[in-house]
């Protein structure tokens, strides 16, 4: 009989260029993402037996799939996200099944995916911005407590729930950062401050599920207004909200330290309640030994995610990663089962937890244990994928920890019309910038550096000893010609001298040119020549339309930079001419040098004739799967960071 391989292994064998992977299953984040896309082939259905609708579980899972896309550069995940959102967003930006007059914070959560799509090179992307504007308008009109906290829902007057912080604040923060509304961050900080003030139990350090400012609800403590018990998932929502909001909260905002402090206060408390036997957390976290209580999957996944990300981002002390590892191992042992096709499934997620309503939920211990437990509930699956991504990052060597990767914004200084809205600058920098998420940007490659532990920074001034003082890797891409900007800044001899001195002292330099029609080559060659490299005027690898094979390059096995990458795509580039100390790192079939390296003093130089790692050619949406540009970008980033001199 033929051997039936699991689906995920079959996929690996069929993907061109997946060398040496036949004996290795995909990472768990990708495997669980495959489960989601198998069980929900057309769109995400959150209520069994009912049509798909705009829902926070949908938003949660799509955000998880987005992280897998960013982690892998596999365009299938983006295509799935786009297809699901297109089922809800009309051409004019209206959201099918959404009702603002419900004033339900849960309905804000999918807005994070809208913001992602609004930042992509996508036909009709404006509709996603309009839909996001609608959700932002809901927050403007959302009913509030007397202390200015968002009501969780219109039908839950005067109430703040921990859940609501995750439902609304990450979207609110990202929208505010993206569309330049800095005044909103005071309001965002206020929402967390009100939770800390009103829901924190001083005895345990845990947070109650909800708070009724009016003290009218039967579940509310008549003196404090809090609900009777701690609920694991609600605390998990809050922890995830903190680590996600901090992605967008301005570094110089006076209230940022408060948010970091809340996380630093909470997570050491959370690990006190981690079950020693399973590594997981209980449905009611402070009553693990009480009859009927049980380890619960979604809360456990959320805590692992918040712990691992908190450590990675430097908010939490490194030893807490051990708790995340123990929790993640416990989740897989306790809750994960694998079917005959090799797809993982997550058991052990409580279906819901709430307060009030009809039938009435009194917040008692008995109530929380009465809700059914489900398999593959998306409130557990989404956080499990997110936790898996974080643990996969944690398991890789953080070769960039403590390093700054600087990208030149001085010689490459292009602008486009901004869509940030009223009050924002009319133009914004773009094209080979860290911030640009469209096809023209380096956001995805920058994310790779960040996952390797490095910090990505802009270098908006001319290179000098001072401007490069804290830069470990310095990337100069495609210096402007008059076609790109009215007053291009050409590389001057003083600039070249400053860069050379910096390299000799131990800097790692990356030079990426372009074809001569799109790059200021003569002055760039003055700099490159100091390291034995000259960009040529010949146009190599011209490509007509989608005749991708014209840009195909093969990398021999065994190279020091690209250990597993074999096939890449680079079109219309400048070939290189080398003299000592430069040497070829990649030569094409016709003997032309495509990439080069040089050791100069204590430093290292890498040169290529094209900015080939921008989003368009790494995000998996445009070029065929056989081209491994995303993988090549990760291997190059790793190699560059390893070239940085060790620090004593």
Angle of helix 28-39 versus helix 378-394 axis, rounded to 10: 160
Residues 571, 577, 582, 584: is their CA dihedral positive or negative?
positive
The C-alpha R_g of the chain, in whole angstroms, comes to 26
The upper half-sphere exposure of residue 424, i.e. CA atoms within 13 Å in the direction of its Cβ, equals 16
Beta strand 344-346 pairing with 349-350: unpaired
Pick left, alpha or beta for residue 497 (phi over 0 → left; psi -120 to 50 → alpha; otherwise beta): alpha
Strand, coil or helix: 634: helix
Catalytic residue among 55, 74, 106, 163: 163
Answer yes or no: are the C-beta atoms of 332 and 316 closer than 8 Å. no
Residue 167: DSSP 8-state? H
The DSSP element (H or E) to which 569 belongs, if any, is: strand 567-569
- Within 8 A by CB and 6+ apart from 367, the residues are 361
Q: In the structure encoding, which two tokens stand for residue 239, read together?
A: 């922890």
- Please state, in angstroms and as integers, the Cα–Cα distance from residue 249 to each residue in 164, 393, 435, 463, 607, following that order: 18, 23, 15, 29, 35
327 vs 310: CA distance, rounded Å: 15
Answer yes or no: are the C-beta atoms of 461 and 410 closer than 8 Å. yes
243 vs 569: CA distance, rounded Å: 36
568 vs 629: CA distance, rounded Å: 5
Exposure of 385 by Cβ count < 10 A (0-12 exposed, 13-18 middle, 19+ buried)? buried
Residue 549: DSSP 8-state? G
Exposure of 79 by Cβ count < 10 A (0-12 exposed, 13-18 middle, 19+ buried)? middle
The upper half-sphere exposure of residue 569, i.e. CA atoms within 13 Å in the direction of its Cβ, equals 23
256 vs 426: CA distance, rounded Å: 28
Taking residue 25's Cβ as centre, other Cβ atoms within 10 Å add up to 14
- Please state, in angstroms and as integers, the Cα–Cα distance from residue 253 to each residue in 185, 286, 316, 413, following that order: 8, 35, 19, 27
- Is position 163 annotated as part of the catalytic site? yes
The pairs formed by 246-254 with CB atoms below 8 angstroms and a separation of 24 or more are 246/313, 246/315, 247/170, 247/173, 247/174, 248/170, 248/173, 248/174, 248/176, 248/177, 249/173, 249/185, 249/188, 249/189, 250/177, 250/182, 250/185, 253/185, 253/189
Q: In the structure encoding, which two tokens stand for residue 112, read together?
A: 């994070």
449 vs 636: CA distance, rounded Å: 10
DSSP sequence for 326-340: HHHHHHHHHHEEE-T
Strand, coil or helix: 315: coil
Beta strand 404-408 pairing with 473-477: parallel
Q: Which residues are catalytic?
A: 163
């Amino acid at each position: 009989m033929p051997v039936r391989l699991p689906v995920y292994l079959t996929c690996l064998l069929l993907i061109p260029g997946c060398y040496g992977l036949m004996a290795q299953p995909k990472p768990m984040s990708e495997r669980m993402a495959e489960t989601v896309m198998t069980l929900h082939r057309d769109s995400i259905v959150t209520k069994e037996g009912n049509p798909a609708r705009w829902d926070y579980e949908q938003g949660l899972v799509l955000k998880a799939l987005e992280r897998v896309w960013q982690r892998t550069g596999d365009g299938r995940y983006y295509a799935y996200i786009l297809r699901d959102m297109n089922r809800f967003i009309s051409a004019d930006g209206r959201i099918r099944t959404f009702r603002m007059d419900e004033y339900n914070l849960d309905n804000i959560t999918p807005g994070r995916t809208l913001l992602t799509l609004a930042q992509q090179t996508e036909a009709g992307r404006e509709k996603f911005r309009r839909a996001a504007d609608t959700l932002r308008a809901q927050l403007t009109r959302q009913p509030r407590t007397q202390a200015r906290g968002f009501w969780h829902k219109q039908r839950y007057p005067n109430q703040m729930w921990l859940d609501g912080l995750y439902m609304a604040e990450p979207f609110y923060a990202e929208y505010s950062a993206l569309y330049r509304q800095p005044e909103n961050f005071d309001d965002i900080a206020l929402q967390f401050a009100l939770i800390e003030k009103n829901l924190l139990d001083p005895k345990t350090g845990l947070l109650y599920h909800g708070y009724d400012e009016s003290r009218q609800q039967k579940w509310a403590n008549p003196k404090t207004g809090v609900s009777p018990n701690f609920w694991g998932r609600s605390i998990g929502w809050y922890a995830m909200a903190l680590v996600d909001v901090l992605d967008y909260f301005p570094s110089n905002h006076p209230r940022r330290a408060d948010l970091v402090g809340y996380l630093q206060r909470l997570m050491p408390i959370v690990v006190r309640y981690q079950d020693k036997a399973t590594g997981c957390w209980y449905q009611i976290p402070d009553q693990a030994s009480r009859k009927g209580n049980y380890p619960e999957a979604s809360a456990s996944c959320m805590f692992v995610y918040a712990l691992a990300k908190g450590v990675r981002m430097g908010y939490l002390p490194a030893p807490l990663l051990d708790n995340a590892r123990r929790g993640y191992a416990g989740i897989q042992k306790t809750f994960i089962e694998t079917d005959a096709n090799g797809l993982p499934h997550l058991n052990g997620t409580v279906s819901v937890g709430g307060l009030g309503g009809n039938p009435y939920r009194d917040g008692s211990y008995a109530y929380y244990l009465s809700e059914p437990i489900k398999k593959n509930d998306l409130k557990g699956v989404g956080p499990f994928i997110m936790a898996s991504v974080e643990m996969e990052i944690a398991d890789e060597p953080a070769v960039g920890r403590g390093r700054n990767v600087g990208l030149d914004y001085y010689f490459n200084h292009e602008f486009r019309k901004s869509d940030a809205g009223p009050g924002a600058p009319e133009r914004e920098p773009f094209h080979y910038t860290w911030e640009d998420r469209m096809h023209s940007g380096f956001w995805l490659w920058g994310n790779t550096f960040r996952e390797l532990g490095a910090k990505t920074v802009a270098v908006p001034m001319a290179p000098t000893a001072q401007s490069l003082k804290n830069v470990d890797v310095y990337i100069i891409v495609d210096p402007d010609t008059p076609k790109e900007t009215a007053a291009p800044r050409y590389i001057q001899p003083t600039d070249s001298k400053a860069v050379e001195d910096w390299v000799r002292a131990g800097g790692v330099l990356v030079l990426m040119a372009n074809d001569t029609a799109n790059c200021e080559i003569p002055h760039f060659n003055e700099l490159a020549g100091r390291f034995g490299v000259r960009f040529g005027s010949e146009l190599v690898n011209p490509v007509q339309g989608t005749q991708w094979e014209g840009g195909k390059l093969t990398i021999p096995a065994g190279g020091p930079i690209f250990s597993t990458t074999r096939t890449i795509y680079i079109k219309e580039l400048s070939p290189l001419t080398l003299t000592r100390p430069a040497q070829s790192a990649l030569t094409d079939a016709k003997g032309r040098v495509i990439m080069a390296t040089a050791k100069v003093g204590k430093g290292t130089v890498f040169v290529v004739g094209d900015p080939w790692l921008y989003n368009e050619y790494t995000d998996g949406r445009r070029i065929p799967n056989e081209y491994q540009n995303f993988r090549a970008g990760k291997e190059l980033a790793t190699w560059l960071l390893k070239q940085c001199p060790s620090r004593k």
